[in-house]
Amino acid sequence: MPPVVAWVVAFLLLAGCSKYKAVEEKLRFAFPEYAKCDALRVIDGDRFYCQLSNREIERVRLIGVEIPEQIAEEAAKFAESKLVRGTPVKLEFNEETRDSHGSIPAYVYLPDGKMLNALLIEGGYAKAVTVMPNVKFKDLFLKIEAEARKQGKGLWGKD
């Protein structure tokens, strides 16, 4: 986290700004940049519920992926196979702590260290999308998508 951002977050926390204080307490967003949670239930291919260590339940949205309607059911089944209830995952944050729907945007790492966001794109279950300001893995996701297209995986093999 850049020093200026850390200073601003620290100031807001000390000033008692409840919005930022709540986010810091729930996600430990400022330090470190990861949070751990247990998967509870997949909503669809790119969103799921998880339980944080403080027992709070949050909705998480995978950053950088878009699930096309024609493959949504397959994407959800794939996500469910990776996020079995109770699966411990690690959330990595980018610039935003909440999206416009109240979900936590994150890169999600499975127990084996693989990133679920990338696995969905790699299998052809999702398209890579770039939505500012969360663009940390933009180039990687576009490269993975190009390879999935080349190999005709998932939605790239559909007519």
Name the stretches of the chain with pLDDT < 70: 1-33, 158-159
Domain extents for the chain? 1-31, 33-157
Residue 97: what pLDDT? 84
Structure tokens that stand for 81 in this block:
């196979």
**pLDDT for res 150:** 96
Q: What is the pLDDT of residue 32?
A: 52
Check residue 96 and give its pLDDT: 85
pLDDT of the residue at 158:
61
**Looking at residue 14, what is its pLDDT?**
42
CATH 3.30.70.3340 applies to domain 33-157: no
**What is the model's pLDDT at position 22?**
53
Q: Using CA atoms, how far apart are residues 119 and 136, in angstroms rounded to an integer?
A: 16
Mean pLDDT (the chain) is 83
Alpha carbon distances (Å) from 77 to 1, 20, 41, 80: 35, 35, 12, 5
In angstroms, the Cα distances linking 147 to 76, 116, 127, 143 are 21, 17, 12, 6
